[in-house]
Amino acid sequence: MRIDDANARRRRGGRIGRLLAGAMVLALASPASAQTVSQIDQLLALDLTALLRVRVTLPSRVAEEAFAVPAAVFVIGADEIRRSGHRRLADVLRLVPGLHVGQIDSGKRVVSARNGMLRFSSTMLVMVDGRHVYTPLYGGVRWEQLDLPLETIERIEIVRGPGGALWGANAVDGIVHVITRPAAADDGTQGALALGSGELRGDAVLARSGRLGAGTQWRLQLRGYESDRGSHLPAAQSTHRDRRVPGSEAGDGGRAIHAGLRSDSRLGDGHTLATHWALSHQGIDEERALARGVLPNHISAGQASAGADWQRALAGGGALRLQAGLSHRRTADDILDERETLLDADLQHTAPAIGGALAWGLGARHYRSASTLPAARPCVACFTLLPEVATDTTVHGFVQQQQPLSEMLRLTLGSKFERSRRGGFHVQPTLRLAWTPVADQLLWAALTSPVRNATRSERDQAFVDVAPADVALFGCRSVVQGVCAVGNAQAPYWRVRSAEAGWRLRAGVTWGVDLALFDNRYDMRNAAGSAATAVSGSRLHGAELTLRWNPLPQLRLAADLTRHRGSERTLAGLRRPVTLLPEDRAHVGVRWQPAGHWRLDADLYTASAMSRPAGAATITLPRQRRLDLRAAWRAAPATELALGVTNARGDGGAEAVELNKVNTAPRRAALLTLTHGF
Amino acid sequence: MARAARRPAVLALACALALLPLRAPAQAQADEAALKLAYLYNFAQFVSWPAESFAEAQAPLVLCVAGRDPWGPMLDRLGGRVVAGHTLRVARPRGVSEARGCHLLYVDDVAGQAWLLAALAEAPVLTVASQADAEAAAPPPATIGFVRRGERLGWAVNLELLRKARLKLSSKLLEMAVRLHDGERAP
């Protein structure tokens, strides 16, 4: 059996090796295809008037900006977001190599970079226009609450692995930065209306832009949508004992409304000011899986946020940037009423120095979390947080020098310094090298050591009304008047030692190869910095390969392969594979424009099966195969009618897990979307 | 079951195919990089350089790309063509002194080459830069900036930098520009 496994692994490894070698040979051998050359010759024969009429089929800028970055970077532009056919932010991230996106139920998603597919296991930093949107409560992101209209997003930048000195704590396994389009980039009114079944029942977006005086532009955006319900899972994939008929409709679903305002002002003398305002509310249905059965639960989540971003270009090529944001969120359901307030401010300065570029910054973040139990407790052993009110303030600074060592070699050296009242003081150094032996190739390597602080839920979680017989079951550290404290006020933090390397190559606009390798060691440490006694850590390593081929201006093909392997040490000191880690993942994407007004797009995804011990049993998530299709007809530059069928094969099983909840599988879904600008 | 599972996909494809005959006549389309190269070649025909830019009447016209090169060998194929009485020569300068020998210089990575653009501000070099969509309304960081408007690619002209460089653009190039910027005066 072992020999078979080893042979199978060798065969798989051999396949990837051959693919890599093939990609290298092709990329090196065909720097410019005959097709591209003849296209250039045709274009050179045109005059300016004729050139102005030519339509751009391949916006290359986004990819080119990412080319020189010595990290595993991926950028999704606005056109790619639209052509993905998805209308939820988390689902769009399925396009990113090395990232795993899984559905928990019809509304909720898990997004994980180099980590397992559990809802509350996130170690990613997620930002919208520089403002942190992850919840410090558990260090993760409630993706269902990120409901801004995708039409207003200019691009999404994704860094897999530690982000480096510039980014904040939690940037351990990845960064997702959503950047919305400046109001100045829009004109008039844009609307989108989508109707469908299987995933979304309806989605309506309206965005209007205008001018206020000479130097200010604004955009108001409104969105409302309703999710369809998911279907129950087969017993082997289910996390609860009260089995429902597989494939039957579950009690999930939900609806959301969002209103946002953005303004961009040019204040003269190189000053610019952008402000963001947003209000939103979600009503999310789910089912809780308890020992005594399945109970419906309704989550009501409201958010308000405001942010400002002031920038000034300095004489001599430098820049000064000040960002500040305030957000408040209330999430209430049958179990807990939870209010979070987050205030953050960041100052960054970049300037040419000693033949390179020096960047430094200072910032502060204040967090307040208050939770109360509902008056009528519907459950026994309800989850809660004690103390009911907790605050924490973090101050941080960073300094980073980017230094050219020669024409071809660039060094980035820096560190982040962070101090929080509850998490202590941490230094997080970064060293990156970028080598450009020829203009179209980049080899990079990085050594980083980020930190993930313990979260509020790790410190303060507790269960109320725990029966004396269940004290051991819940792992109570203390029990006072039936309240079982599970969290640890001195909860250890994670120190990660990460080594990464990568190779990027492109041949004109025709070919591109991007390979990233990483090895992460996670050590759990107590506040004094020594290794924690119980669990000492885990190790994860892997390779992520992306190939891009544009054989024709109208046809773009992309393929990516991800292979992750990991092991963790259990409480008993045994090593075992990281649970719920999709070890192998592949994606093939086709973007075809057969005629001027038509776009036909397809994405095929596969991911290996995953498992996790759950008491005496094991939860197994099956091998994933997913096909998303989209056909769009662009009647005018601003009018498009698109029909999308997601999960077209319809045979997907569970993709991710939230314990103690009824998880559902994605259904085959169709969506007809009309977008129109006027 | 499997056949049933495929039905919506087949349906979607059938709908798409059924609508195909409705398509409008095909329009010219190209990669952004290829289009930029064609523009650069065209720009060279509409610029007047100061007399001292050419050592002699037959001196070559030097077309340069600094830093990231989006074209590779495709750019080299332009070498040898004749533009406004000069033979075109392609170069990839590695420093300011080499870049001063260019007549037309393209910068793709504006952030990485900002130092070079600043150093060439008063040299008689037509600098052309790729301008980020988000900065489409701002003055180009070079004499000419490529600006994307939807699916079309146009250009904006920075008249202040043009004056400093002592270059003259033909009225056609100015009239067809998406935007003209002149210092802090109204765009």
User: Which of A65, A596, A638 is closest, CB to CB, to B29?
Assistant: A596
- Name every residue whose Cβ is closer than 8 Å to that of residue A531 and which is 6 or more positions away in sequence: A523, A524, A525, A537
CA distance B127 to chain A (A): 17
User: Which of B12, B42, B72 is closest, CB to CB, to A51?
Assistant: B42
The answer to whether the beta carbons of residues B159 and B169 sit under 8 Å apart is no
Is the peptide bond prior to A387 cis by the omega test (within 30 degrees of 0)? yes
Taking CB atoms and an 8 Å cutoff, what residues of chain B touch A44?
Answer: 37-38, 41, 78
Whether residues A36 and B26 touch (CB distance < 8 A) is answered with: no
How far is the C-alpha of A482 from the C-alpha of A105, rounded, in Å? Answer: 32
User: Mapping DSSP to helix (H, G, I), strand (E, B) and coil, where does residue A71 land?
Assistant: coil
How far is the C-alpha of A251 from the C-alpha of A294, rounded, in Å? Answer: 10
User: Mapping DSSP to helix (H, G, I), strand (E, B) and coil, where does residue A23 land?
Assistant: helix
Give the model's pLDDT for residue A571: 57
Pairing assessment for the beta strands A174-180 and A624-636 based on DSSP bridges: unpaired
User: Mapping DSSP to helix (H, G, I), strand (E, B) and coil, where does residue B125 land?
Assistant: coil
Paired tokens of B155: 């250009």
User: Mapping DSSP to helix (H, G, I), strand (E, B) and coil, where does residue A591 land?
Assistant: strand
Give the model's pLDDT for residue B28: 60
User: Which of A37, A55, A649 is closest, CB to CB, to B29?
Assistant: A55
How far is the C-alpha of A227 from the C-alpha of A108, rounded, in Å? Answer: 11
Backbone Cα Rg of chain B? 21
Paired tokens of A437: 């032996």
Q: Residue B1's pLDDT band (boundaries 50, 70, 90)?
A: very low
How far is the C-alpha of A215 from the C-alpha of A312, rounded, in Å? Answer: 15
Rounded to 5 degrees, what angle do the CA atoms A434, A439, A445 make?
15
How far is the C-alpha of A362 from the C-alpha of A345, rounded, in Å? Answer: 8
- Name every residue whose Cβ is closer than 8 Å to that of residue A90 and which is 6 or more positions away in sequence: A101, A109, A111, A143, A146
Taking CB atoms and an 8 Å cutoff, what residues of chain A touch B5?
Answer: 649-651, 668
Q: Which of A28, A37, A40 to mutate to test the interface with B (most CBs of B within 10 A)?
A: A40
How far is the C-alpha of A247 from the C-alpha of A250, rounded, in Å? Answer: 9
Q: What are phi and psi of B14, to 5 degrees?
A: -65, -45
Give the model's pLDDT for residue B32: 80
How far is the C-alpha of A469 from the C-alpha of A465, rounded, in Å? Answer: 11
Give the model's pLDDT for residue A287: 85
Any B CB within 8 A of A54 CB = yes
Pairing assessment for the beta strands A610-614 and A617-621 based on DSSP bridges: antiparallel
Cα separation values, A273 from A490, A572, B9, Å: 41, 55, 47
Q: Does position B125 have pLDDT exceeding 90, yes or no?
A: yes
Any B CB within 8 A of A21 CB = no
Give the model's pLDDT for residue B5: 46
State which residue of chain A sits closest to B6, comparing Cα positions. A649
Interface subset of A 185-214, CB within 8 angstroms of B: 185, 214
The answer to whether the beta carbons of residues A657 and A105 sit under 8 Å apart is no
Continuous segment of H or E residues that includes residue A184: none
pTM comes to 0.76
Give the model's pLDDT for residue A650: 80
Whether residues A48 and B172 touch (CB distance < 8 A) is answered with: yes
Taking CB atoms and an 8 Å cutoff, what residues of chain B touch A358?
Answer: none
Cα separation values, A574 from A115, A536, A577, Å: 19, 11, 10
How far is the C-alpha of A12 from the C-alpha of A585, rounded, in Å? Answer: 12
Whether residues B148 and A56 touch (CB distance < 8 A) is answered with: yes
Give the model's pLDDT for residue B90: 93
Q: Which amino acid is at A596?
A: G
Q: Which of A28, A37, A46, A48 to mutate to test the interface with B (most CBs of B within 10 A)?
A: A48
User: Which of B20, B34, B152 is closest, CB to CB, to A40?
Assistant: B34
Whether residues A54 and B19 touch (CB distance < 8 A) is answered with: no
Taking CB atoms and an 8 Å cutoff, what residues of chain B touch A509?
Answer: 31-34, 70
Any B CB within 8 A of A356 CB = no
Taking CB atoms and an 8 Å cutoff, what residues of chain A touch B25?
Answer: 596
Give the model's pLDDT for residue A529: 57
Compute the mean pLDDT over every residue in chain B, rounded to the nearest whole number: 79
The answer to whether the beta carbons of residues A459 and A489 sit under 8 Å apart is yes
Query: Mean pLDDT, 10 residues at a time, over chain A (678 residues)?
Result: 42 44 37 52 82 63 63 88 93 93 88 75 80 80 90 88 66 86 78 93 94 85 93 75 74 93 83 92 87 81 94 76 94 88 91 82 92 71 82 91 86 90 87 87 92 82 77 76 79 86 83 92 72 65 92 87 85 68 93 87 93 73 92 86 92 79 87 91
Give the model's pLDDT for residue A570: 62
CA distance A345 to chain B (A): 23
- End-to-end distance of chain A based on CA atoms, in angstroms? 64
The answer to whether the beta carbons of residues A649 and A625 sit under 8 Å apart is yes
Give the model's pLDDT for residue A22: 42
User: Which of B8, B33, B92 is closest, CB to CB, to A509?
Assistant: B33
Taking CB atoms and an 8 Å cutoff, what residues of chain A touch B22?
Answer: 633
Pairing assessment for the beta strands A617-621 and A624-636 based on DSSP bridges: unpaired
User: Mapping DSSP to helix (H, G, I), strand (E, B) and coil, where does residue A623 land?
Assistant: coil
User: Mapping DSSP to helix (H, G, I), strand (E, B) and coil, where does residue A96 land?
Assistant: coil
Specify burial of residue A147 (Cβ count, 10 A radius: 0-12, 13-18, 19+): buried
Query: Could you write out the DSSP letters of every residue in A418-470?
Result: EEETTTEEEEEEEEEEEE-SSTTEEEEEEEE--EEPPPHHHHHEEEES--GGG
Give the model's pLDDT for residue A615: 64
Q: Compute, in degrees rounded to 10, the torsion defined by CA atoms B125, B128, B129, B131.
A: 140
Q: Compute, in degrees rounded to 10, the torsion defined by CA atoms B162, B166, B172, B178.
A: 0
Taking CB atoms and an 8 Å cutoff, what residues of chain A touch B15?
Answer: 631, 643
Q: Which of B15, B19, B46, B68 to mutate to test the interface with A (most CBs of A within 10 A)?
A: B68
Any B CB within 8 A of A439 CB = yes
